[in-house]
Chain A
């Protein structure tokens, strides 16, 4: 079995634990410490930001244009319009600046 296969299996188990774990754990503890809760609330934004920020260091004009448009559309639209607008700008800009 390949490493990729085992990564997928482990990721599947880890994911299932998050889906069943809240019920198993949180229903047992009446109180979560406020600081733990604050930390948990910060998890999605903190993790996802680290996947974008370093990419900005290597970004050229086409990539920057796409990110700016994505951010602007986000003020109005949902995830899908935001993504499609950013992708459209990126593809269009790459035809000119490569």
Chain B
């Protein structure tokens, strides 16, 4: 066997090892992809637009936020800014994973960052910490099935969403607040979580009553973030550095 053949066959097995690890992520994200498609249509997206958003943005929570604001006829720049804000956590993943994939060629890196989701980061980081290299074939095997199925299921959800007759009885209009409450509660172990949530809730409700939608989103968010900035950093679990 030549060296090329050896490295090719090991890349193949790395790829399939990644695919096996992607399966729990595929299963867990499927309902949200279908839900996204159905809700996107409900909020005024076409099937093609729902498909396109899943293919190009590929970030569940941010897509949900986007269509929710879209349905409320929020200004386009604010929708984009909100999606950016929800996805901002990826900056940290990006900084973390950069050390693991520094040996990849530029094109592979560019592609690798495109499919950098929460589980992709978590699984890749775990592999790196166990002392194994994070190769491109393995990383692609982990991310590609999630990406392809996310898009397909979004489109299916959008097609199916058009067929739902009574969306109120099925609670479709209130599923997003429930989902977002779930996400908010998922961050509850973070330092300063409760004060930030209370500040944002109060700020957004007051803004909603006075200034009105869509400004309650940015005003409420800024209220909570400012609280974290103003309080001494040790409250946020951030070490003060000299």
**Which residues on A are within 8 Å of B, measured CB to CB?**
2-12, 14-27, 31, 34-57, 59, 62-63, 66-67, 70-71, 74, 79-80, 82-83, 86-87, 90-91, 94-95, 98
Known: A7-B80, A23-B95. A48 touches B116 (CB 8 A): no
Known: A22-B92, A41-B238, A82-B182. A54 touches B208 (CB 8 A): yes
- Taking CB atoms, residues of chain A closer than 8 Å to B56 are 8-9, 11-12
The residues in B between 47 and 72 inclusive whose CB is less than 8 angstroms from any CB of A are: 49, 52-53, 56-59, 61-62, 65-66, 68, 70
Residue in contact with A16 in the complex, picked from B85, B113, B200, B233, CB distance below 8 Å: B113
Task: Give the interface SS of chain A, mostly helix, strand, loop or mixed.
Answer: helix
Contact at B224–A45, with CB atoms within 8 Å?
yes
Nearest CB in chain B: distance from A94 CB, A: 6
Stretch touching chain A among B8-16, B130-138, B184-192: B184-192
The residues in B between 183 and 224 inclusive whose CB is less than 8 angstroms from any CB of A are: 183-188, 190-193, 196-197, 199-205, 208, 213, 216-224
Nearest CB in chain A: distance from B202 CB, A: 8
- Inter-chain CA distance A86–B182, complex, in Å, is 9
6 closest pairs, A vs B, by CB?
A: A46-B224, A22-B94, A50-B220, A42-B228, A38-B236, A12-B56
The residues in B between 152 and 173 inclusive whose CB is less than 8 angstroms from any CB of A are: 168-171
Count of B interface residues, CB-CB < 8 Å: 100
**Which residues on B are within 8 Å of A, measured CB to CB?**
28, 31, 44-46, 49, 52-53, 56-59, 61-62, 65-66, 68, 70, 76, 79-98, 110, 113-114, 116, 168-171, 174-188, 190-193, 196-197, 199-205, 208, 213, 216-229, 231, 233, 235-241
B223, closest chain A residue (CB): A46
Known: A11-B66, A47-B85. A90 touches B95 (CB 8 A): no
Nearest CB in chain A: distance from B226 CB, A: 8
- Taking CB atoms, residues of chain A closer than 8 Å to B188 are 74
Contact at A22–B95, with CB atoms within 8 Å?
yes
Contact at A34–B241, with CB atoms within 8 Å?
yes
- Inter-chain CA distance A57–B41, complex, in Å, is 25
Residue in contact with B201 in the complex, picked from A8, A34, A37, A49, CB distance below 8 Å: A49
- Inter-chain CA distance A25–B98, complex, in Å, is 11
Known: A15-B59, A50-B217. A27 touches B95 (CB 8 A): yes
Residue in contact with B229 in the complex, picked from A12, A38, A53, A79, CB distance below 8 Å: A38
Residue in contact with B177 in the complex, picked from A16, A27, A38, A52, CB distance below 8 Å: A52
Please name 30 pairs of A and B residues whose Cβ atoms are closer than 8 Å in the assembled complex, sorted by A. A5-B52, A7-B80, A12-B53, A18-B89, A19-B114, A25-B95, A34-B239, A38-B228, A40-B91, A41-B237, A42-B236, A46-B228, A47-B82, A47-B86, A48-B65, A48-B86, A48-B183, A49-B184, A50-B216, A51-B177, A54-B205, A63-B174, A70-B181, A71-B185, A79-B183, A83-B178, A86-B178, A87-B171, A87-B178, A90-B175
